[in-house]
Amino acid sequence: MKTLNKISLSMVLEILSSYAPLYVPAGNETFSGFVRYSAGLEVRLDKNTKLGPKSLLFPKVENIYSYSNHGKDTEIFSDPQENEPTIIFGVRSCDLQAIICLDDVFLNRTSRDGVNDYNYRIRRGNAIIVALGCLEADGDCFCQAMGVNPSEHEQADLQLFDLGEFFGVESHTPKGLNLSRLLENSGLLAEKKVDKPLPASFSLTVDAQGITHKLQKMFDHPLWDELGEKCLNCGVCTYVCPACHCFDISVCAKDGCNGATIRYWDSCMFSRYTEMAGGHNPRPGKKEKVRQRFLHKLRYFPERYGKFLCTGCGRCVELCPVNLDITEVIRRVKEAEIDG
């Protein structure tokens, strides 16, 4: 396996940032996320970030298209997207699995008509994912229970393994091979006979097997009333989730002739998320909102795409102000008594 000495990490980042815009995990205990790399930035690779790289592919706010009125004629045009490679460095398996979930939604791999999201497709096609395997799991992580390998992800372009003083480097795609060759040509990679590290051990575990099938019979179960009473509908769970992707669209008029249609993140936890123009809301209370969140992640998404919409990153577990823990919800569902 090719290896990279950790002492050379700053040099590696300089080379990568000269090749393409480079985003890395950075921050502190209060806040951390993926930011544009610049010389001297302290990169954080010891643990996962508070916010994942989702916004680099699916921004919090973005223009979908702009319009301009000329008398009786209206011109509509898409805002140009930057069509250049972007490197996202240090992505953990849980966050990469979340990106695969976003691919299912925005690239519509299962759609019969093949429609896909233009803005997402451009960003995703330009993204080069450098993944970093986990040696240790944070106390709130449970990715293995959701079918994710914490050590490596086969969908990474370039996979890094923590080998102590070195990183193991393995290319999975032509994009990753190009980066590997770039580093190799700079004299930063060496061939060593090493074994891949064992998967991280987890203190938080849960058995999710069979939960999708059981939830098919629990739409009206009283468990949702209990969970709904506890929830504040603050939306922090959906904001920090690397896989949640609900959005709303608004038209913003700049003046009488020009404007734009914008897309921005929304949350199924918010009171007006499903409110209709006539005032009717099919999910009027907290029970309905909480039920929708967990059914989407654990039943609806697996039924449609064959994978959970939860990747076990543990961010919602850590940050929920009332400790509405999805692993505990899974346990409660598994233990629940149902008719039939």
Taking residue 306's Cβ as centre, other Cβ atoms within 10 Å add up to 11
Q: Provide the whole-model pTM.
A: 0.93
Tokens of 76: 């509509």
Query: 132 falls in which pLDDT band (50, 70, 90)?
Result: very high
Query: 338 falls in which pLDDT band (50, 70, 90)?
Result: confident
Angle at which helix 9-19 crosses helix 174-185, to 10 degrees, equals: 120
Q: Are 131 and 168 in contact (CB under 8 A)?
A: no
The confidence score (pLDDT) of residue 281 equals: 85
Distance (Å, whole) CA 40 – CA 24: 12
Distance (Å, whole) CA 338 – CA 215: 10
pLDDT tens digits along 144-183: 999 999 999 999 999 999 999 999 999 999 999 999 999 9
Taking residue 157's Cβ as centre, other Cβ atoms within 10 Å add up to 23
Q: What is the mean pLDDT of residues 297-326?
A: 96
Query: 340 falls in which pLDDT band (50, 70, 90)?
Result: low
Tokens of 267: 């949350």
Query: 271 falls in which pLDDT band (50, 70, 90)?
Result: confident
pLDDT tens digits along 223-250: 999 999 999 999 999 999 999 999 999 9
Distance (Å, whole) CA 60 – CA 127: 17
Q: Are 217 and 340 in contact (CB under 8 A)?
A: yes
More confident residue, 132 or 279: 132
Whether residue 112 has pLDDT greater than 80: no
Whether residue 111 has pLDDT greater than 60: no
DSSP bridge pairs for 261: 65, 251
Distance (Å, whole) CA 270 – CA 282: 13
**H or E element at residue 129:** strand 127-132
Q: What is the mean pLDDT of residues 177-201?
A: 90
DSSP string, 283-297: S-SHHHHHHHHHHII
CA angle, 53 then 203 then 137, to 5°: 30
Residue 10's contacts (CB-CB under 8 Å, 6 or more residues apart) are: none
Phi, psi of 189 (to 5 degrees): -110, 140
Q: What is the mean pLDDT of residues 74-81?
A: 80
Q: What is the mean pLDDT of residues 90-95?
A: 97
pLDDT tens digits along 14-59: 999 999 999 999 998 788 999 999 998 999 999 899 999 999 999 9
